[in-house]
Every structure is written in structure tokens, then in C-alpha cells.
């Protein structure tokens, strides 16, 4: 069903009666084919995830829920946590929550508390009427932050005829002043709110199943709080001092997001032990290494080519072979037959080669490492090191560009990227890793993160030589390593 809403004229009478006598102004209405239960489910999802409606918002923290019979967070002890409910005549209130809207940039906008109430008429009534009200905890329009419409309340109304199997949804505002409803920004906001509800409700009506699930490994709140702190601390200076020809707006915020995820992951993994250090293989511009070391994590990174950025990101790293945090090195894994003897024709000194063996426990980072991506779980298994890999471009174990077989799960997309992710997951599983998948909240379409931190079998039960053969072998790897020395760095 395409989104073609009916714009309601200014003289339209209210669709429901406020028990206190206030007049809610209807703005837009649209037909729908989803029932009251779907409406309630989608509205609760939007209460918990206001970022679906506004890119200015990070998330919402629910600080009061009458179904929980208690305030739900430590930060809810202020008077603002108390709900400001409104009642609707003939449509009983069933649930009351208070959410705290958290903006992406708290330097520009303040959080806002908002009472959210769910109402539904008796099931014997026709039509069945459901209302969700948002009431901001603000006494006047100037008290409202930029991301909230300048109104006293927002209402979503769902009306449903169970006999016909059809209904309608509409958006209504409670203005501070009646003239406020003529403001085009206010009307655009109402249009947008209805459009999002229509999209999510109709998707359920046609059997849409969500394919991407975020926050499986790290809770959203923890990640976003850490990310906000890192962004506030580093973003401006990193963007202003960007030395590469690539887009700083993409790379800076992407690496800040990955750093935030890793820091929260490590807080869980090493809460009762010392941090073992990290190594970023194929570290590229070195920004991720820089952020992590600035935050106090010991580690280093290497890449086949020096980057301009290294001059400003370089630092001391006692755990690194040369004592520097960023190093030019070629990966020649110890399990590749022939080893460095195959590089005799290239002017590469032994100090420029790394055999892929790391101290046990070192956390391996493989972020868009391209040729090194399929090697990541193998190196982790050989050195007994946990890892994170974020695949991007598809290469086989020789370093050649490669189109991986279609995913084993026939319901998944058959794209080159989906095939790569499934292929490297299969390698990791054969190496004895239990693979965890997380969709990172970063500004990249290549945001699939694969984690290996738990073993399913000992290394002694993994035939590495047979595994290399199963996945195409390594013939030609050394020649391709030599080519990396001569070619320029790629941008992602």
C-alpha cells in the first residue's frame, strides 16, 4: 500500500475527546490493513527507539513504566520521572511510561522527558480505537529542544473494523496556541510521523521479517554512551586535522564507533583480568590504533604501506616489535609453505615481514583488512588469540580478488558481500571458533562484525594444512604480497 495520506483541513473536528477538555488537532490520516495489536507493538517499538522518527535522537531510556511497578533506572529519581498522564474519554488508559529522549549531540540539545500513554477501547466496540499519547515535560514551546515539535502533545490514533479487516491511522497535535498548527515545520513533522508508522505497520501486515539485528553482543545504551563520549572528545580535532584524501566524515565516525564497540566488548571480556594488548592487522590510516591507545589500551598496528596520517598518529608501543604503534610490515604467515624464501626477488628486509604469530591472548583486530580478512581466524587459532573481523572486499587466501560461494543459508542474499561474510564465517568455524555476529552502528554498509572469542575445539584437533587446501590453498600468496609493496593504498 503506497503512502498517500489525506491532509485534514484546519476546521476538522477532533477525532477523540480529551478528558480535560483540551482540543487535539487532527493533521493527517491514512488507511491501513494492520490491526490493534500490531499498532500497539509498533508504537512501543517507537517509544523505545525514537531514532526511527528522528535522526537527531540517539535513543530513549525508559525511566518509569507502570507495568514494572517501579522506576526503572537509577537516573530516574528526579521529579521529572513522575508521569504526566492524560486521559481520553471512552478509551481507557492501559499503560503509562516515561521515557528520556537522548539526543545525538548533548552539547547542542538537552535530553527531554516525555510521558507516553497507551489507550484502547473495549473489544466489543466497533471500531476498536487505540491511542498513544506523547506528552513532553515542558511548560512552554521555548522549553522544548530543537528535535521536538513545538506542541504540548502528540497523538497517534488507530481505528479498526475487525469485520472488514481494515482501518485507519492518524496523527494529532495538542498545540500551545491554535496558530501553531499553521507552521509548516509542525505539519511536516506530523506527515513524517504518520509515514513511519504506516511503513512499519504495513510491513508487518505483509509478513516482513526483520533481517538485521543490532545490539546482540553489546547493549545499545552502553555502546551509544561510550560513542557519545568518544565523539565529544575526539571528533572535531580528528576531522580538522585529517591528512588523507578520503572523506573524514566517514572514516572518523566509523572508527570512533568501532572503538566504542571494542572498549565495551573488552570491558566484558577482561573485567577480571589484565588487558592482554591488541594488534590491528592491515591497520590502514592508523586512526583506530590511535584512538584505542589514546584511551589507554596497549597495542599496535601494521600495514603493507605507510600512510600520511601515521606522522600524527604514531606513538610509543612497548608491546610492538619496534616499539612504535604503527609499522610497515607485510604479513607472511608461518603456515605458508616456503616462507620468506619466496620473497628473495623483492627488496624486503626481514624486519619488514611479520609471520602472523602473536603472544597468546592478544586481541586481533581485522577492520576492512581485505587480503588479510580470511587469514584472521586462522591467525587467531594458531596463536590462541581472540579476534574481531569486519569484512569489506573479497579476497581468497592467496590475496587474489575472489567471489565466494553463495551463503549456505539459502534465505540470505547472494550478493558478493553476503557470500564473503558466510565464507569467512565458515573458515572461522572450521578453525574451531564459535562465531558471534553483530551489526555495528557505524556509518558504513560494510558493518557486519564477526567475533571469535570462544573455542569449540582445541587447536590440536584442527588440521591447518588441510584447512588451507579446503579453502583454495595459498599458492601465489608470496607473489601477491610482493605486489602490495608496489601498489598504492586503497580507499574504503
Domain ranges (residues) in the chain: 6-70+81-206, 220-486
Q: Is the pLDDT of residue 80 over 60?
A: no
Q: Which architecture, in CATH terms, is 220-486?
A: 3-Layer(aba) Sandwich (3.40)
Q: Is the pLDDT of residue 420 over 90?
A: yes
What's the confidence (pLDDT) of residue 490? 58
How far apart CA 202 and CA 206 sit, in angstroms, is 6
Q: Rounded to two decimals, what is the model's pTM?
A: 0.75
pLDDT band for position 445 (50/70/90)? confident
Higher pLDDT among residues 487 and 383, named by residue: 383
* Residues 89-109 pLDDT 10s: 999 999 999 999 999 887 788
* Residues 292-351 pLDDT 10s: 999 999 999 999 999 999 999 999 999 999 999 999 999 999 999 865 555 555 566 777
Angle (deg, nearest 10), helices 248-269 and 287-294: 50
Q: Is the pLDDT of residue 32 over 50?
A: yes
* Residues 132-165 pLDDT 10s: 999 999 999 999 999 999 999 999 999 999 878 8
Cell of 156: 497517534
Q: Which architecture, in CATH terms, is 6-70+81-206?
A: 2-Layer Sandwich (3.30)
What's the confidence (pLDDT) of residue 77? 44
pLDDT band for position 53 (50/70/90)? very high
Q: Is the pLDDT of residue 211 over 90?
A: no
- 454-466 mean pLDDT: 93
Q: Tell me the CA distances in angstroms from 45 to 39, 53, 113, 248, 460, one per residue in order.
A: 10, 11, 17, 33, 47
Lowest mean pLDDT across 80-89, 377-386, 415-424:
80-89
Q: Is the pLDDT of residue 79 over 70?
A: no
Residue percentage of the chain with pLDDT more than 70: 92
Q: Is the pLDDT of residue 220 over 80?
A: yes
What's the confidence (pLDDT) of residue 209? 63
Q: Mean pLDDT score of the chain, rounded to an integer?
A: 91
Supply angle C-alpha 152, 157, 158, rounded to 5: 165
How far apart CA 328 and CA 304 sit, in angstroms, is 5
How far apart CA 178 and CA 473 sit, in angstroms, is 73
Supply angle C-alpha 181, 182, 188, rounded to 5: 80
Identical fold between 6-70+81-206 and 220-486: no
What's the confidence (pLDDT) of residue 175? 95
* Residues 343-352 pLDDT 10s: 555 566 777 8
Amino acid at each position: 500500500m503506497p503512502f498517500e495520506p489525506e491532509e485534514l483541513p484546519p476546521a476538522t473536528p477532533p477525532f477523540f475527546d480529551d478528558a480535560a477538555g483540551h482540543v487535539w488537532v487532527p493533521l493527517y490520516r491514512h488507511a491501513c490493513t494492520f490491526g490493534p495489536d500490531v499498532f500497539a507493538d509498533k508504537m512501543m517499538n517507537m517509544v523505545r527507539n525514537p531514532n526511527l522518527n528522528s535522526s537527531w535522537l540517539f535513543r530513549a531510556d525508559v525511566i518509569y513504566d507502570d507495568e514494572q511497578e517501579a522506576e526503572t533506572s537509577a537516573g530516574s529519581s528526579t521529579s521529572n520521572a513522575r508521569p504526566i498522564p492524560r486521559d481520553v474519554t471512552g478509551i481507557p488508559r492501559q499503560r503509562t511510561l516515561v521515557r528520556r529522549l537522548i539526543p545525538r549531540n548533548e552539547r547542542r540539545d538537552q535530553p527531554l522527558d516525555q510521558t507516553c500513554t497507551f489507550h484502547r477501547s473495549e473489544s466489543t466496540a466497533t471500531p476498536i480505537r487505540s491511542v498513544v499519547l506523547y506528552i513532553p515535560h515542558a511548560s512552554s514551546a521555548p522549553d522544548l529542544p530543537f528535535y521536538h515539535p513545538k506542541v504540548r502533545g502528540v497523538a497517534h490514533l488507530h481505528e479498526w473494523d475487525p469485520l472488514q479487516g481494515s482501518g485507519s491511522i492518524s496523527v494529532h497535535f495538542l498545540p500551545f496556541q491554535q496558530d501553531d498548527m499553521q507552521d509548516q515545520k509542525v505539519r511536516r513533522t506530523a506527515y513524517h510521523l504518520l509515514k513511519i508508522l504506516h511503513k512499519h505497520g504495513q510491513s508487518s501486515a505483509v509478513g516482513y521479517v526483520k533481517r538485521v539485528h543490532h545490539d546482540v553482543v553489546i547493549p545499545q545504551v552502553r555502546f551509544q554512551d561510550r560513542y557519545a563520549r568518544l565523539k565529544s572528545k575526539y571528533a572535531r580535532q580528528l576531522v580538522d586535522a585529517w591528512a588523507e584524501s578520503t572523506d573524514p566524515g566517514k572514516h572518523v565516525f566509523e572508527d570512533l564507533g568501532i572503538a566504542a564497540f571494542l572498549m565495551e566488548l573488552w570491558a566484558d571480556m577482561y573485567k577480571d583480568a589484565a588487558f592482554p594488548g591488541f594488534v590491528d592487522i592491515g591497520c590502514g590510516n592508523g586512526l583506530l590504533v590511535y584512538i584505542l591507545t589514546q584511551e589507554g589500551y596497549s597495542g599496535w598496528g601494521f600495514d603493507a604501506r605507510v600512510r600520511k596520517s601515521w606522522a600524527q598518529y604514531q606513538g610509543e608501543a612497548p608491546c610492538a616489535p619496534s616499539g612504535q604503534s604503527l609499522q610497515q610490515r607485510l604479513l607472511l604467515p608461518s603456515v605458508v609453505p616456503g616462507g620468506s624464501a619466496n620473497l628473495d626477488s623483492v627488496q624486503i628486509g626481514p624486519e619488514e615481514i611479520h609471520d602472523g604469530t602473536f603472544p597468546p591472548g592478544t586481541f586481533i583486530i581485522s577492520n576492512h583488512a581485505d587480503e588479510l580478512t580470511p587469514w584472521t581466524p586462522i591467525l587467531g587459532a594458531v596463536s590462541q588469540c581472540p579476534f574481531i573481523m569486519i569484512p569489506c572486499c573479497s579476497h581468497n587466501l592467496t590475496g587474489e580478488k575472489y567471489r565466494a560461494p553463495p551463503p549456505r543459508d539459502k534465505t540470505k542474499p547472494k550478493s558478493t558481500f553476503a557470500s564473503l561474510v558466510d565464507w569467512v564465517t565458515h573458515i572461522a568455524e572450521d578453525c574451531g571458533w564459535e562465531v558471534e555476529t553483530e551489526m555495528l552502528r557505524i556509518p558504513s554498509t560494510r558493518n557486519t562484525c564477526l567475533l571469535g572469542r570462544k573455542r569449540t575445539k582445541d587447536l590440536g584437533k584442527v588440521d591447518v594444512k588441510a584447512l588451507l587446501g579446503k579453502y583454495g590453498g595459498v599458492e601465489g600468496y608470496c607473489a601477491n604480497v610482493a605486489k602490495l609493496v608496489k601498489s598504492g593504498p586503497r580507499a574504503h
